Chain A
Amino acid sequence: MPVTVARSLDDALSALEEHPNALILAGGTDVMVEVNKGTRPVEQVISIGRVPELQDWEHEGDWLHLGAAVTYTELMGEELSSLVPALAQAARTVGSPQIRNAGTIGGNLGTSSPAGDTLPALFALNAILTIRSKTTVKEVPIDEFITGVKSNSLNPGELIEKIRVPVLEGPQEFCKIGPRNAMVISVASFTLLTDHQEKQVKSCLGTVGPVPIRPTEAEDFISGEVNWEQNTVRPEVLDNFAALCSSAARPIDDHRGSAAYRRHAIRVLSRRAASRVFSEEIS
């Protein structure tokens, strides 16, 4: 099968224009599993793992621009983990060192799995994707990009160029449950961001619905209850927040975990995450 190894973004876009239905190959950690299984017929491949423009990231004012081919290992690095801690923590939970060296954030978006570990953080951050073809460029908010279980709004001829996320002031948390202590597919995950400037809590539930879920009611509730000066919160607020998060979940039963356990897990994780970033007021 013909493979184009793109050396520049323009290379990649030209190849895509010529073969709009070609398979885009980044780290290959999802693609090769399917190819080896025989469930992914491949006619034409465009490899983007060596496109410098896609491997770069840039911190500009309040924004961070991440090239689609930025790897998990890079996300976990010192600089990025101080800018987007939740994303870095999520990256650390992905696979093994080998997978993290190869796998990319763009690939996680491309696969659009309900268990994709960077997606909840990107939802909570209201990430904006730059989608480019040879002739067009557009910005798509993450919740319009991901449209369902393993489906997204990418059209033939397009690729994800970069992902733009705000750099927030305040602690962030990502926690993920799996039946093993590392290298495991998420059974449920919880992301919590604090925005001290806007005095807002943003959060997202992972793996408990077809797409990541923002528990907006819970976010609004806790944002209004936090003592932003002291960075504290009353214990019963944490309990209510956890209950609201858990009731926003829409989990399913599968061989990795029951719906009931997943809902329970969201309650526990959301409470713990919130009590990591806010001290509990002693009543």
Chain B
Amino acid sequence: MSDLKTETPVSGPRIGESAPRPDGVPKVNGSFAFSSDLWHKNMLWGGTLRSPFPSARITRLDITEALLIDGVQAVLTHEDVPGQNLYGLEHADQPVMAEEIIRYEGEPVAIVAADHPEIVRRALNAIQVEYEEMAPLTDPELAEETDFIHPDGNLIRRINLRHGDQEVQGEIQVEGIYEVGMQDQAFLGPESGLAVPGEDGGVDLYISTQWLHADRSQVASCLGLEEERVRITLAGVGGAFGAREDLSLHVHLCMLAMRTNRAVKMIYSREESFHGHVHRHPAKMWYRHHADSKGNLLRVEAKVLLDGGAYASSSGAVIANATCFAAGPYRIPSADIEGVVVRTNNPPCGAMRGFGAVQTCVGHEAQMDKLARALNMDPVEIRIKNALKPGDKLLTGQTITGTAPVAEVIQTCAEHTSTCQESTDPMSLPGGAGRTADPEHISRGEAIAVGFKNLMFSEGFDDFSSALCQLENGVATITCACAEVGQGFVTLAQQITREILGVEEVILAPAATQTVGSAGSTSASRQTWMSGGAVQKACEEVRVKLLEKLAVEHQVDIDNLVLVDGQVTSLNEDFTISLEEATSEPLEARVEYRHAPTFPLDENGQGDAHVSFAFSAHKAVVDVDPELGLVKVVELITSQDVGRLLNPLQAVGQLEGGAAQGLGLAVMEEVLVTEGNIRNASFTDYLIPTALDMPPVEIAAIIEQPEPGAPFGAKGIGEPPSISSTAAVVAAIREATNLELPRVPVRFTDIVSVEED
């Protein structure tokens, strides 16, 4: 095709080229409209009254005083929920507003709409609620033997995975107990949205979310409306990372708008936001690894216990991941893994980047290091020796049919030599701006970790995405309900369209429920594959329609027609037509795209439950001040399996951002919960890495081995960076301190032991 001459070559980025985000500059200069910037004429403000107790019975709820306040337009409670007062991603078990029983701190009790946010605040204060406090169930280890705190019981899901010969014993055995604290997604844009009552008795909701259609079905059922009468449009999303998979203020906003017949806007405060979304599950894990004297893994036993908090959310799928990937990307012939997730009166937990694989990576990688030590082997060597490869079986018995460059990610990452110097300036030592250390107080450690997880939804879920491609006058319009939460679908959809249709201009229609079918969730590293696949398929269909039409109209051989740079040209006949002219009458295709089917796990946790897997490795270099327990991560090196690189710029962003989130979990990020109450619901006390905490990310290798069955051979890349980074950082701190450090985040008192007063 290189000898084709075209007048206006397509200059916009195509597949494999760096495509800058169209929302990048507006986000930096403040002109991007987030969901919290929405405005409507004559709009009301909404607010939520929440329980201060994690476990209580409401004995009295009186809204009369609040209703008397001038400017208050509605005060609603569970009695006003028009449909089912329950919702949930997997099971509808969470009330829109509490009826009698409070199951977590911050559970919504009543909602208000008023003329001004200040009046909302006064109205919320004027609602009288009396609670009878109950002892909260806060220890997940006691959940199963405690009275039910929910009619569905305290066990959310248990998986007993048994793989291979259960009698196997290893000559070398290492054991450990590990813990992971509760991490928050810490997105910057708090929950916010705007509901506008529709003339048809329905409602239009503008909201930041990860999955418009799943929101719609839950909202409709709570409102008692047909789905068509709930129209949801994606508003500007200020980060998600899993925290926007569950409903938050959706139903509340719609109820208030429908009751007052006016538009209602609501924004959570930062503190409220910590109560308004799910967090990453805290985990307790026990492991026993068996190996032969040469370091071959023979068997892994593990028990993984996740605290699901008060409601199920996506806990069932999270524990499936934690169980299936409990032992890491290694070839292990025998396993006995018990995965349990329970209900407690702690804050509800659910989806967060890495989805169950983050917690277990902390466990299995610590075990691999222990094993290396017991065998006196190099930690890199033992990992490579046991690395999964195509054709190997997972613990679920599933054979890996796609790519699995595990040894490659480990090798390239390990071989990449550190470029960082010894630091001398106190500002760049642990303690940073606090200038607490001098070089002689510092010890340095370096370690590697590897992790993996599944891409897309598993266990037989009907996972699909939908797209509509319209081509008219040489301009393509793509309509897809894929939620852009920062992952880069907006550039990718254009890249794919340019690649296939040879057009320059690609318009992306708003993501909404009323124009196109579901795209599925922006989670599980799935949208590049799924919505990317749907866009690809829709464009291909339009391309075929166009060529067929031209072949008939102009009597040319269809097999020799090519569509490139805004023209359709025949390779062997004298025929050229501009795309603009050829599509003066619009062509369109509406498609659904599915990945290869998956199957449920059987009673032994066996089955072909997953579609594809992505792998990553991190090497961390840390400086530790052992006397003060302070840490500075000085370098993060990573290699990642990406299938094929579609947008290099965006990929680097994902690798850096994910590593920052992983580093945060390793050294500082934890939602502190005491007796069911969050103690640090603010960015003053829930700390995320600053520029002085996050070192540059060195990319050792981006491994491109096209994945069979994946559109363009590309794997999702969003989650792996946050999986192995945490484990690598904590391992490096172990190297620097010679401490066991079985818990993340590592706190200063885990490093320095101080006598209690």
Residues of A within 8 A of B (CB): 36-38, 89, 92-93, 96, 173-185, 189, 255-261, 263-265, 268-269, 272, 276
Contacting pair A256 B685 (CB below 8 A)? yes
Give Cα A182 to B615, complex, Å: 32
| A42 → B minimal CB distance (Å) | 12
Question: Could you say which residues of chain B place their CB within 8 Å of the CB of A264?
Answer: 752, 754
CB-defined contacts of A185 to chain B, threshold 8 Å: 684-685
Determine if B628 and A180 form an interchain contact, defined as CB atoms under 8 angstroms apart: no
The answer on a CB contact under 8 Å between A180 and B690 is yes
Residue of A nearest to B752 (CB): A264
7 examples of A-B residue contacts, CB within 8 angstroms: A37-B271, A93-B435, A177-B630, A179-B687, A184-B434, A258-B754, A264-B752
Taking a contact as CB atoms closer than 8 A, the residue among A96, A257, A272 that contacts B436 in the complex is A272
* Pairwise interchain contact A182-B672, C-beta atoms closer than 8 A: no
* Measured CA separation A92–B427 after assembly (Å): 10
Are A174's CB and B435's CB within 8 A?
yes
Q: Are B693 and A258 in contact (CB under 8 A)?
A: no
Taken residue by residue from 665 to 695, chain B's Cβ proximity to chain A (1 for < 8 Å, 0 otherwise) reads as 0001000100000011000110101111100
Q: How far is the CA of A182 from the CA of B435 in the complex (A)?
A: 10
Task: Select the residue from A180, A256, A276 with max chain B CB neighbours within 10 A.
Answer: A180
Would you call B354 an interface residue if the criterion is a C-beta within 8 Å of the partner chain's C-beta atoms? no
Are B749 and A182 in touch, CB under 8 angstroms? Answer: no
Contacts of B269 in A (CB 8 A): 36-37
Contact string against A for B residues 739-752, beta-carbon threshold 8 Å, 1 for contact and 0 otherwise:
00000000111001
Q: In the assembled complex, which residues on chain B have CB atoms less than 8 Å from the CB atom of A272?
A: 436-438, 441
B668 touches A180 (CB 8 A): yes
User: Interface extent on B, as a size class?
Assistant: 35 or more
* Chain A to chain B: the 10 pairs with minimum beta-carbon distance, closest first: A181-B432, A176-B434, A182-B692, A181-B692, A260-B754, A264-B754, A182-B433, A255-B679, A182-B690, A175-B436
| Bound-complex Cα distance A179 to B684 (A) | 11
Closest B residue to A276 by CB, please name it: B438
B430, B438, B755, B757: the one within 8 Å of A181 (CB): B430
User: A182 and B691: CB pair below 8 A?
Assistant: yes
Q: Give Cα A59 to B625, complex, Å.
A: 38
Task: State the Cβ distance, A46 to closest chain B Cβ, in Å.
Answer: 22
| Cβ proximity bits B400-434 to A, threshold 8 Å, 1 near / 0 not | 00000000000000000000000000000011111
Q: Which of A176, A184, A260 counts the most B-chain CB atoms under 10 A from its CB? A: A184
Produce 1/0 per residue, B428-463, CB < 8 A to A: 001111111110010000000000000000000000
Q: Is there contact, CB below 8 Å, between B756 and A260?
A: yes
Is there an interface contact between B632 and A181, defined as CB atoms closer than 8 Å? yes
Judge whether A176 and B436 touch: CB under 8 Å: yes
**How far does the Cβ of B4 sit from chain A's closest Cβ, in whole Å?**
53
Most buried by A among B436, B438, B630, B689: B436
For A261, list chain B residues within 8 Å (CB). Answer: 629, 748-749, 752, 754
How many angstroms between the C-alpha atoms of A176 and B628 in the bound complex? Answer: 11
Interface status of B259 (Cβ within 8 A of chain A): no
Contact check, A269 vs B747: say whether CB atoms are below 8 A apart: no
Which residues on B sit within 8 Å (CB–CB) of A173?
435
Beyond the given A37-B271, A181-B434, A269-B628, could you list 20 further A-B residue pairs with CB under 8 A, ordered by the A residue number? Answer: A36-B269, A92-B433, A93-B435, A96-B690, A175-B431, A177-B434, A179-B687, A179-B747, A179-B748, A180-B689, A181-B432, A182-B691, A189-B434, A255-B680, A257-B748, A260-B757, A261-B629, A263-B754, A264-B752, A264-B754
Chain A hits for B430, CB < 8 A: 181
* Cα-based distance from A257 to B756 in the complex (angstroms): 12
Q: CA A260 – CA B680 in complex, angstroms?
A: 21
Complex alpha-carbon distance, A92 and B431, angstroms: 13
List of A residues within 8 angstroms of B691 by Cβ: 182
Task: Please measure, in the bound complex, the distance between the C-alpha atom of A37 and the C-alpha atom of B747, giving whole angstroms.
Answer: 29
The smallest beta-carbon distance between A176 and chain B, in angstroms, is: 4
Measured CA separation A269–B436 after assembly (Å): 7
- A residues less than 8 Å from B441 (CB atoms): 272
Residues in B whose Cβ lies below 8 Å from that of A89: 435
A257 to chain B: which residues have CB within 8 Å? Answer: 748-749
Residue-by-residue, is B685-713 near A (CB-CB < 8 Å gives 1, otherwise 0)?
10101111100000000000000000000
Complexed CA–CA distance, A276 and B440 (Å): 12
Residues of A within 8 A of B630 (CB): 177
Asked, given contacts A175-B435, A258-B754, A272-B441, whether A181 binds B749 with beta carbons under 8 Å apart, the answer is no
Q: What separation, in Å, do the CA atoms of A173 and B434 have in the docked complex? A: 11
Write the nearest CB–CB distance from B741 to chain A, whole angstroms: 15
Q: Does B627 contact A (CB under 8 A)?
A: yes
In the assembled complex, the Cα of A264 lies from the Cα of B755 at a distance in Å of: 9
B121 close to chain A: CB less than 8 A: yes
A175 to B431 Cα, complex, angstroms:
9
Q: Kindly state the separation between the CA atoms of A29 and B707 in the bound complex, as whole angstroms.
A: 52
- CA of A92 to CA of B690, assembled, Å: 15
Shortest distance from the beta carbon of B234 to any chain A beta carbon, whole Å: 27
Chain A positions within 8 Å of B693 at CB level = 180-182
Instruction: Give bound CA distance, A178 to B748, whole Å.
Output: 9
Interchain CA distance A255-B673 in the complex, whole Å? 10
Question: What is the bound-complex CA distance between A109 and B672, given in angstroms?
Answer: 30
Cα A174 to Cα B269 in complex, Å, equals: 35
- Write the nearest CB–CB distance from A114 to chain B, whole angstroms: 15
Closest chain B CB from A103 CB (angstroms): 14
Report B-chain residues with C-beta under 8 Å of the C-beta of A182: 432-433, 690-693
Report the minimal beta-carbon distance from B683 to chain A, rounded to whole angstroms.
10
Q: Which residues of A contact B431 (CB under 8 A)?
A: 175, 177, 181
CA gap between A174 and B438 in the complex, in Å? 13
Q: How far is the CA of A200 from the CA of B58 in the complex (A)?
A: 63
Tell whether, in the assembled complex, residue B628 and residue A181 are in contact, meaning their CB atoms are under 8 Å apart.
no
- Known contacts A182-B693, A260-B756, A264-B752; A177 and B628 CB within 8 A of each other: yes
**Given that A177-B630, A182-B691, A258-B749 are known contacts, is A263 also in contact with B435, CB under 8 Å in the complex?**
no
User: Given the complex of chains A and B, what is the CA–CA distance between A255 and B748 in angstroms?
Assistant: 13
List A contacts of B747 (CB < 8 A): 179
Bound-state Cα–Cα, A89 to B432, Å? 12
Question: Is B755 within 8 A of A260, CB to CB?
Answer: yes
Q: Shortest distance in angstroms between B572's beta carbon and chain A's nearest beta carbon?
A: 64
Across-interface contacts of B437 in A (CB, < 8 A): 272
Closest to A89 in B: B435
Min Cβ gap B286→A in Å is 27
Residues of chain B with a CB closer than 8 A to A38's CB: 121
Q: Which residues of A contact B433 (CB under 8 A)?
A: 92-93, 176, 181-183
Q: Within the assembled complex, what's the spacing in Å between the Cα atoms of A28 and B503?
A: 52
Contact of B672 among A174, A180, A255, A258 (CB under 8 A): A255
Contact B627–A268 (Cβ < 8 Å): yes
When distances are taken between beta carbons in the complex, the residues of chain A under 8 Å from B752 are: 261, 264
Q: Which residues of B contact A179 (CB under 8 A)?
A: 668, 687, 747-748
Assembled-state Cα–Cα distance A36/B684 (Å): 14
Residues of A within 8 A of B629 (CB): 261
Closest to B745 in A: A179
CA distance A276 to B426 in the complex (A): 12
Complex contacts, A92 vs chain B, CB 8 Å: 433
- Chain A hits for B690, CB < 8 A: 96, 180-183
- Chain A nearest CB from B261 CB (Å) reads 29
1/0 per residue, CB under 8 A from A, across B538-567: the answer is 000000000000000000000000000000
Partner of B434, one of A175, A256, A263: A175
Does B687 lie within 8 Å of A184, measured CB to CB? yes
Chain A: CB-nearest residue to B117: A38
In the bound complex, what is the Cα–Cα distance between A272 and B430 (angstroms)? 14
A61 to chain B minimum Cβ distance, whole angstroms, is 30
Kindly list chain A residues whose C-beta atoms are within 8 Å of the C-beta of B672.
255
Cβ-closest chain B residue relative to A275: B438
Q: Is the CB of B687 within 8 A of A265?
A: no
A-contact bits for B641-681, CB 8 A (1 contact / 0 none): 00000000000000000000000000010001000000110
Residues in B with CB closer than 8 Å to A183 are 433, 690
Q: A residues within 8 A CB of B679? A: 255
Once the chains bind, are B438 and A177 in contact (CB under 8 Å)?
no
Shortest distance in angstroms between A228's beta carbon and chain B's nearest beta carbon? 23
- CA of A36 to CA of B441, assembled, Å: 42
B114-149, CB under 8 A of A: which get 1 and which 0? 000000010000000000000000000000000000
